[in-house]
């Protein structure tokens, strides 16, 4: 019976190490991910949705644009906690600067970058929509 518990502990430890290593690799990739430039003059008024997957989470955002300005960003995260709460502060930086070239939130760098990338994806979807002809 003792050998069984030792075997379970070893297997659990190995699984924890594998999961930890995968999370570390994904965190590093997110920290280095390229955030592109968005030309707000090309974004029509509207509400746009974007998402970015990182680690085992997906950050989703809704971005509102009016008169070629980002007026609001709502963040939807499957998980809660201090990282998400802190990282959501990055939306204030985006709104104030009207740019995705903003500092991340210390202590929530990866989650901040996921939010910025999700905003970029939302705005890129707006850039790629065909313009409807006006009469």
The CATH number covering residue 109 comes to 3.90.1010.20
Task: Give the chain's domain count.
Answer: 1
- CA distances to 5, 28, 61, 123 from 49, in Å: 48, 25, 6, 8
* DSSP sequence for 43-107: --SEEEEEEEEETTEEEEEEEEEETTEEEEEEEEESS-SHHHHHHTTHHHHHHHHTSS--PPPTT
Q: Is residue 65 part of a domain?
A: yes
Q: In terms of pLDDT, which residue wins out, 85 or 41?
A: 41
- Summarize the confidence of residues 54-82 as an average pLDDT: 88
Q: Is residue 5 part of a domain?
A: no
The structure tokens 């970015």 sit at 52
Within a 10 A sphere around the Cβ of 102, how many other Cβ atoms? 19
Tell me the Cα Rg of the chain: 19
Contact present, 113 and 34 (Cβ < 8 Å): no
* Tokens coding 101: 């070239």
The whole-angstrom distance between residue 40's C-alpha and the CA centroid of its chain comes to 19
**Confidence band (pLDDT; 50, 70, 90) for 30?**
low
Q: What is the pLDDT of residue 130?
A: 57
* pTM for the whole structure: 0.74
The domain in which residue 61 lies consists of: 33-127
* Tokens coding 41: 């003059």
Q: Is residue 41 part of a domain?
A: yes
Q: Is residue 12 part of a domain?
A: no
Q: What is the pLDDT of residue 85?
A: 84
């Amino acid at each position: 019976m003792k050998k069984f518990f030792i075997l379970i502990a070893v297997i659990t430890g190995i699984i924890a190490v594998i999961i930890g290593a995968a999370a570390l690799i994904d965190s590093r990739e997110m920290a280095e991910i390229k955030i592109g430039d968005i030309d707000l003059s090309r974004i029509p008024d509207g509400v746009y949705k974007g998402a970015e997957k990182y680690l085992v989470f997906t950050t989703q955002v809704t971005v509102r644009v009016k008169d070629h300005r980002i007026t609001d960003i709502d963040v939807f995260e499957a998980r809660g906690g201090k990282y998400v709460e802190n990282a959501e502060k990055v939306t204030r930086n985006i709104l104030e600067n009207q740019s995705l070239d903003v500092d991340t939130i210390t202590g929530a760098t990866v989650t901040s970058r996921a939010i910025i990338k999700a905003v970029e994806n939302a705005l890129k979807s707006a850039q790629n929509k065909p313009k409807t002809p006006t009469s």
